[in-house]
A and B are shown apart, each in its own frame.
Chain A
Amino acid sequence: MTIVVVMEQVPDVVEELVIAPSGTDLDRDAVSYVINEYDDHALEEALLLAEATGDEVVAVGIDTTGELDQALYTALAKGARRAIKVTGDFEGAWLSTRAAAQLLVPVIKELDPRLVLTGVQAPDDLDGQLAPTLSALLGWPHASVVISSEIADGVVRARKELWAGITMTLELELPAVLGVQAARQAPRYVPISRVRQVMREASIETREVEPVGDLAPSLMRLRFPAETSQAEMLTGNASEIADRLIELLRARGLL
């Protein structure tokens, strides 16, 4: 059976981001892309599930960057059996989460999986809408902020994080959609030689789509967060530092 992992590439924030002269986009020439961290965890969780059940993992993504192949080859090298990219006339667009979900649903239906995993959130989906939107469009049950999962007796048990260290375990009927916060273990390392071998030997399937409707929110202006006040380092001996701390707390009405 099949487990689908939905993956997205996002700008690498380690690199310096530059806003394009238009003021409504990043300077795409200066941007490099990485896989969304949470999607990487979703892939790891999927691979762990598949190792236990013998399922087949299929990595699926929408190629908005023109570089998605790189991420999909890595997924194949890590152990995904197939990789599918959705292509169309939306390169360079910041797809809205809803539009992305609508583009993905036909591919997911075609694959007929018993489980869909994706990252709980992404830099362009900070409120974590992708997993619930997919679940609504597919009509399948859903859990988000998942930190471990297990398929047994025809259901998936997903442990999700609540607050203050409290977790709860949900039992969902299959098929289901999970938004993964963290895999049970850190995403695995894949040796470069394996990635290169996969690039020579494996191929990525393509699904060309004709997008309809509004794909992306219209941006008025993109800007960096305004710099707020700097941290102050307290120096001196212990009692001087303590005095200063008390003073600071008093000034804020906390003492």
Chain B
Amino acid sequence: MLTTSERIAFVLIALASLLLTAHGVSRIVRAIARGQGRPTWGLFFRRVIPVSLDILLQRPIFRTRPLVSALHAGVFFAFVFYGLVNILDLAEGFTGFSTLHRGGIAALYNLIADLLSVAALVGMVGLLVRRFGLRPFRFNERVFLLPSVRFGISRDSAIVGGFILLHVGSRWVGQAVRIAESERADWSQPTASLVAALFHGWSEAALTTASHVTWWLALGLILAFLPYFPYSKHIHLFMAPLNLILREERPLGQLEPPTSSNGALGAERLEQLRWYQLLDGYACIMCNRCQDVCPAHGTGRALSPAALEINKRYYLNRNLGAFAGGATSPPLLEIATTKEAVWSCTTCAACVRICPVGNRPMLDLIDIRRALVNQGDPLDPNLQAALESLARYGNSFGKPARQRARWTKELPFPIKDARKEPVEYLWFVGDFASFDPRMQENTKIVAQLFHAAELDFGILYEDERNTGNDVRRVGEEGLFEMLVEQNLAALEKAQFRAIVTTDPHSYNALRNEYPAYGFQVPVYHYTELLADLLERGRLRVQQPLTAAVTYHDPCYLGRYNRITAAPRRILHALGLELREMPRHGENTYCCGAGGGRIWMDSGGQERPSEQRIREAVALGEDLRYFVVACPKDMAMYSDAVKTTGYEAQLTVIDVARLVAMAVGINGLERESISVTTEAP
């Protein structure tokens, strides 16, 4: 029990501490409220229970790094339970009430507290050893970091880690002292009882002093830490759940239109970001998982999604009073990231998917692009040429629209004009599949397969335009809208039941972006249709294939739209041996072409597609095919397999071509036979 003067001191310090903390929290709330838009609070009531359950089970954290996640779970569970522990310890200090040596529920409480204290201490020591001993948190030298960040991350981690160790450790040792005072072990606190042996032979006075000191170190420390808490990464305790709960219900593949302030589109400055993008900074725990999966960072480019969030928070914390009070922030390109980083994003959404606290750094990058494009900032010349071509001809190839369906002339049968007669499936072919000479062969094969399966399908001929998926992600919203309008006008002329696309990017736009413009039609990817046609016997395998293959999930198919089973069903139906790369399914690695990157210069640096080919080659020398289901992948990997020198060993092939080989289409049977004989 505390002395009267101790009690008065505690209450006074607590008041001061709470006031300071409230001041900090209110400034942060006002800073976040300067972001655009407002949360939908209705979501809170709907989501609070399911999201809390997710968090209690630590699901978002266990997506990767199992060992580190287990250490975190120890600290996390202890912290949740310590809410109760701290209240009871407070009551003990003020009233003398004690759970020591009691049976029943009190014993259970003590047991849990005892074990979780150890879990927290082990977890925290493990995490600190990792952070300061193994130093896994590095940024490549091109990543922009605010000067305050370089030292700040370590200091913040040391303070938070030290606080947890001291707080939990003092409470644990304090229990040991109290057990020693009682002169007998408490079976419900096995570890504290062991520590109590250390105090064997201490005088009563010494033990009383130790009891007071440990109490103050456990609970008084909270008061000392509390005012710092809002500015520390520890605030993720509240901000992360809030971020996950209030996240608006929108498919990953659908962007919000750009924010507009005084006619300026996108985000040039902090206050032009949306409220949740500011919240992201405070939810970030600096775990760098996003950076680990980022294909831009992975190939040495200046982009680190983690650094972006960390910079945002450090800038805000350093200028919180002014910003919360309405001061204009400097441009994001001076405080958060660089132009090079912004333009190296492939919008693969790996960072969004992996983030345990629900952050979406990719959206910031797109919003900065929107601002740059709108201000007329000079663009990569190839990108500019692509956009100008898209505006003029509806494709990025600089070819007249009239040539879009030229590939159909080389087919032995006509393809229905969906504008003139009703069809069951409208095939939205896409730019690369229509115009790129390397892709046209595959496109003809897909047409032959559809034809052989007697599918009722047609195309829009010269009225099809690029869907604008990547145009939107480049930040050219006006051009995106124009392409949507043109496509909708063309689609309106046609009668069909569903759409099938070749390109996952078209798929994503038609499936997720176009509904916002009133277009609601079932959309399928051609792999879904081919899988179905094979399984229902409308395409029959004449000659099973026996090669070992691997399959690359396109970001916009596998991660964005979770279509991972259909292509694998096809490979299975053809009899191929599928070997998975370590990164597959929703966890796939980007080829580097998305978000308009395919139109930009790679700057002579290593490309993600080259890393990916090496990942495939590591699956075995007998791996024969690198199977793709995206025309852009075909382009990227056909290049990468050459530049990495594996062209003789590994063939990049579209899944449709494999189907054609197995079912026997258009003279490809012979090729299939040679495969079967060569395969081991």
A and B co-occur in one complex: yes
A-to-B contact residues, CB < 8 Å? 12, 14-16, 34, 78, 185-186, 188-196
In the complex, what distance in Å separates the CA atom of A66 from the CA atom of B599?
Answer: 33
B392 within 8 A of A: yes
Instruction: Using A34-B392, A194-B374 as known contacts, say yes or no to A189 and B387 having CB atoms under 8 A apart.
Output: yes
Find chain A residues with CB under 8 A from B23 CB: none
Decide: A14 and B400 in contact? CB cutoff 8 A: yes
Name the residue on A nearest B379 (C-beta).
A189
Decide: B379 and A192 in contact? CB cutoff 8 A: no
Name the residue on A nearest B390 (C-beta).
A192
In the complex, what distance in Å separates the CA atom of A188 from the CA atom of B374?
Answer: 12
Find chain B residues with CB under 8 A from A193 CB: 265, 374, 477-478, 481
Decide: B384 and A186 in contact? CB cutoff 8 A: yes
B373 within 8 A of A: yes
B381 within 8 A of A: yes
Interface size class of B (residues with CB under 8 A): 20 to 34
Considering the complex of A and B, which 4 residue pairs feature the smallest CB-CB distances, nearest first?
A193-B478, A192-B478, A192-B479, A15-B400
In the complex, what distance in Å separates the CA atom of A41 from the CA atom of B671?
Answer: 52
Find chain B residues with CB under 8 A from A196 CB: 478
Name the residue on B nearest A187 (C-beta).
B384
Question: Could you give 10 example pairs across A and B, Cβ below 8 Å?
Answer: A78-B376, A185-B378, A188-B376, A189-B373, A191-B373, A192-B476, A192-B478, A192-B481, A193-B374, A194-B374
Decide: A192 and B376 in contact? CB cutoff 8 A: no
Decide: A192 and B482 in contact? CB cutoff 8 A: yes
Find chain B residues with CB under 8 A from A186 CB: 378, 381, 384
Find chain A residues with CB under 8 A from B399 CB: 14
User: Which residue, of A34, A190, A191, has the highest number of chain B Cβ atoms within 10 A?
Assistant: A191
B402 within 8 A of A: yes
Name the residue on B nearest A186 (C-beta).
B381
B398 within 8 A of A: yes
User: Contact mask B386-404 → A, CB, 8 Å, 1/0?
Assistant: 0110011100001110100
Interchain nearest-CB distance for B366 vs A (Å): 15
In the complex, what distance in Å separates the CA atom of A240 from the CA atom of B393?
Answer: 43
Apart from A188-B376, A191-B476: 17 A-B pairs, beta carbons within 8 A: A14-B393, A14-B400, A78-B376, A186-B378, A186-B381, A186-B384, A189-B379, A189-B384, A189-B388, A190-B376, A191-B374, A191-B478, A192-B476, A192-B481, A193-B478, A194-B374, A196-B478
Find chain B residues with CB under 8 A from A190 CB: 376
In the complex, what distance in Å separates the CA atom of A192 from the CA atom of B384?
Answer: 12
Interchain nearest-CB distance for A65 vs B (Å): 15
Name the residue on B nearest A34 (C-beta).
B392
Decide: B376 and A191 in contact? CB cutoff 8 A: yes
User: Which residue, of B384, B387, B400, B478, has the highest number of chain A Cβ atoms within 10 A?
Assistant: B478
Decide: A195 and B400 in contact? CB cutoff 8 A: no
Find chain A residues with CB under 8 A from B373 CB: 189, 191
Decide: B387 and A14 in contact? CB cutoff 8 A: no
Decide: B400 and A16 in contact? CB cutoff 8 A: yes
Find chain B residues with CB under 8 A from A192 CB: 391, 476, 478-479, 481-482
Tell me if B's interface is mostly helix, strand, loop or mixed.
helix
User: Contact mask B610-640 → A, CB, 8 Å, 1/0?
Assistant: 0000000000000000000000000000000
Interchain nearest-CB distance for A53 vs B (Å): 19
Decide: A189 and B393 in contact? CB cutoff 8 A: no
Find chain B residues with CB under 8 A from A188 CB: 376, 378
In the complex, what distance in Å separates the CA atom of A194 from the CA atom of B260?
Answer: 13
Interchain nearest-CB distance for A74 vs B (Å): 10
Neighbour of A16 across the interface among B391, B393, B398, B402, CB < 8 A: B402
Find chain B residues with CB under 8 A from A14 CB: 393, 398-400
Decide: B376 and A195 in contact? CB cutoff 8 A: no
Name the residue on B nearest A189 (C-beta).
B384
Find chain A residues with CB under 8 A from B400 CB: 14-16
Instruction: Using A185-B378, A186-B384 as known contacts, say yes or no to A15 and B478 having CB atoms under 8 A apart.
Output: no
In the complex, what distance in Å separates the CA atom of A185 from the CA atom of B378?
Answer: 10
Find chain A residues with CB under 8 A from B384 CB: 186, 189
In the complex, what distance in Å separates the CA atom of A192 from the CA atom of B265?
Answer: 12
In the complex, what distance in Å separates the CA atom of A207 from the CA atom of B392?
Answer: 28
Find chain A residues with CB under 8 A from B391 CB: 192
Find chain B residues with CB under 8 A from A185 CB: 378
Scan residues 488-535 of chain B and give those whose CB is less than 8 A from a CB of chain A.
none
Find chain B residues with CB under 8 A from A189 CB: 373, 376, 378-379, 384, 387-388
In the complex, what distance in Å separates the CA atom of A87 from the CA atom of B323?
Answer: 54
Name the residue on A nearest B482 (C-beta).
A192
Decide: B476 and A15 in contact? CB cutoff 8 A: no
Name the residue on B nearest A190 (C-beta).
B376
In the complex, what distance in Å separates the CA atom of A16 from the CA atom of B478?
Answer: 28
In the complex, what distance in Å separates the CA atom of A117 from the CA atom of B150?
Answer: 52
User: Which residue, of A14, A186, A193, A194, has the highest number of chain B Cβ atoms within 10 A?
Assistant: A193
Name the residue on A nearest B265 (C-beta).
A193
Scan residues 248-270 of chain B and give those whose CB is less than 8 A from a CB of chain A.
265
Find chain B residues with CB under 8 A from A15 CB: 400, 402
In the complex, what distance in Å separates the CA atom of A12 from the CA atom of B479?
Answer: 20
Find chain A residues with CB under 8 A from B476 CB: 191-192
Decide: A195 and B478 in contact? CB cutoff 8 A: yes
Interchain nearest-CB distance for A14 vs B (Å): 6
Name the residue on B nearest A74 (C-beta).
B391
In the complex, what distance in Å separates the CA atom of A191 from the CA atom of B392?
Answer: 13
Find chain A residues with CB under 8 A from B378 CB: 185-186, 188-189
User: Contact mask B156-170 → A, CB, 8 Å, 1/0?
Assistant: 000000000000000
In the complex, what distance in Å separates the CA atom of A16 from the CA atom of B373?
Answer: 32
Find chain A residues with CB under 8 A from B374 CB: 191, 193-194
Interchain nearest-CB distance for A201 vs B (Å): 11
Find chain B residues with CB under 8 A from A195 CB: 478
Find chain B residues with CB under 8 A from A16 CB: 400, 402
Interchain nearest-CB distance for A16 vs B (Å): 7
Interchain nearest-CB distance for B259 vs A (Å): 14
In the complex, what distance in Å separates the CA atom of A195 from the CA atom of B482?
Answer: 12
Find chain B residues with CB under 8 A from A194 CB: 374, 376, 478
In the complex, what distance in Å separates the CA atom of A189 from the CA atom of B596?
Answer: 16
Name the residue on A nearest B370 (C-beta).
A191
In the complex, what distance in Å separates the CA atom of A52 from the CA atom of B317?
Answer: 39
In the complex, what distance in Å separates the CA atom of A193 from the CA atom of B379?
Answer: 16
Name the residue on B nearest A185 (C-beta).
B378
Interchain nearest-CB distance for B164 vs A (Å): 50
Find chain B residues with CB under 8 A from A12 CB: 392
